Amino acid sequence: MEPRKKIFIIDDDSFLLDMYALKFNQSNFSVTTALGPEPALEKFHQGYIPDVILLDIVMPVMDGFELMEKLKEENLAQSAIFIILSNRGQPSDIARGESLGAAGYIVKASSTPSEVIDKVNSIINSTKK
């Protein structure tokens, strides 16, 4: 059996964070969460390296794009697969996510939690070398 993939879910909505954590845990992922970008950065600075980073865009203080830029600047989580999970689904947002290295972009409003897990697994499988 494959080892559990480490997924780091970053969102400023604690209800969604808890729900996705539970769902991914039930789907054989090892889940870590951060309620916003600052605690997420703290975790990266402590050396945490997940396989997958699932992050929201619209967050206070620093949005998901800025967090991705900061992680790249500081060479943190280089091997992680970035997947954006946001209610913002404009083509310009998707293009910006891709330009920053996101392997996928999932619009929350049009995906059930089960569909999000399926899409994340699909993205992981398509990025395997």
Q: Once rounded to an integer, what is the mean pLDDT over residues 90-113?
A: 95
What is the number of other CB atoms lying within 10 angstroms of the CB of residue 69?
14
pLDDT score of 108: 92
Spatial contact of 104 and 54, defined as CB atoms under 8 Å apart = no
pLDDT of residue 22: 97
Cα(104)–Cα(120) distance, integer angstroms: 8
What confidence tens digit (pLDDT) does each residue in 14-70 have?
A: 999 999 999 999 999 999 999 999 999 999 999 999 999 999 999 989 999 999 999
What residues are paired with 7 via a beta bridge?
31, 52
Number of C-beta neighbours around residue 63 at 10 A? 18
> Rounded to whole angstroms, how far apart are CA atoms 129 and 119?
18
Q: Which two tokens stand for residue 24?
A: 């991914």
Is pTM, for the whole model, over 0.75? yes
Mean of pLDDT over the chain: 94
Taking Cα atoms as reference points, which of 23, 94, 53 lies closest to residue 34?
53
Hey, is 124 helix, strand or coil?
helix
How far is it, in rounded angstroms, from Cα 15 to Cα 127?
29
Instruction: Please give the pLDDT value at position 9.
Output: 98
Residue 78 has pLDDT above 90, yes or no: no
What pLDDT score was predicted for residue 19?
Answer: 96
Give the whole-angstrom CA distance, residue 24 versus residue 28. 7
> In which band, very low, low, confident or very high, does the pLDDT at 1 lie, cut at 50, 70 and 90?
low
Is residue 129 scored above 60 in pLDDT? no
